[in-house]
Amino acid sequence: MNINLIGLAAAFATFFGVWLGHVSVRKIERETVNLWIPALSALTLGTGFEIASFLISSLPLSAMCGILGVTLLWDSLEFYRQQKRIKYGHAPANLKNPRHAKILAEYPNATTFDWLDRNPRGSAYSPAELDSMKESAK
């Protein structure tokens, strides 16, 4: 009996890639002044993983490389999408980052308030409650 490891390898690569991509995009975008450097790095790594997925003969490793490659290619776009989220106030800006300081000065909805850093209560917050949470954080 042969054990098929492709599904397990694909599941692991997907979970690990999405988790690491989500965390790293938020962290790297927050700290980096020039976004093109990490975006180009993710694009290069993603392309490398995709090429490796074509060249590796092991199906589980090929699947893992393909999934991680596509995830990195998507992350290269997410750096710029995260910057848009900051402009709209959906993600917190970093006052120590000159790029974010410029965003805070130019976009009135931009904020340093982290919407994820609050206690969930099981029902929607009213706009007035959201505004008061945002003001109390200043």
- In the structure, what pLDDT confidence band is assigned to residue 119 with cuts at 50, 70 and 90? confident
* Residue 27 resides in a domain: yes
pLDDT 10s digits, 62-94: 999 999 999 999 999 999 999 999 999 889 999
Residue 115 has pLDDT above 90, yes or no: no
Indicate the number of domains in the chain.
1
Whether 114 is in a domain gets the answer: yes
Contact criterion met (CB below 8 Å) for 111 and 92: yes
Dist CA 101 CA 118 (whole Å): 24
Winning range, highest mean pLDDT, from 6-10, 53-57, 91-95, 134-138: 53-57
State the chain's mean pLDDT as an integer: 91
- Return the pLDDT at 126: 86
Residue 1 belongs to a domain: no
Residue 138 pLDDT level (bands cut at 50, 70, 90)? low
Q: Which domain holds residue 63?
A: 6-136
Asked if the structure places residue 25 within a domain, the reply is: yes
* pTM of the shown model: 0.83
Residue 26 lies in a domain: yes
Distance CA 73, CA 47 (A): 7
Mean pLDDT over 57-61 rounds to 94
- Provide the pLDDT for residue 137: 63
To which residue do tokens 């945002």 refer?
134
Residue 45 lies in a domain: yes
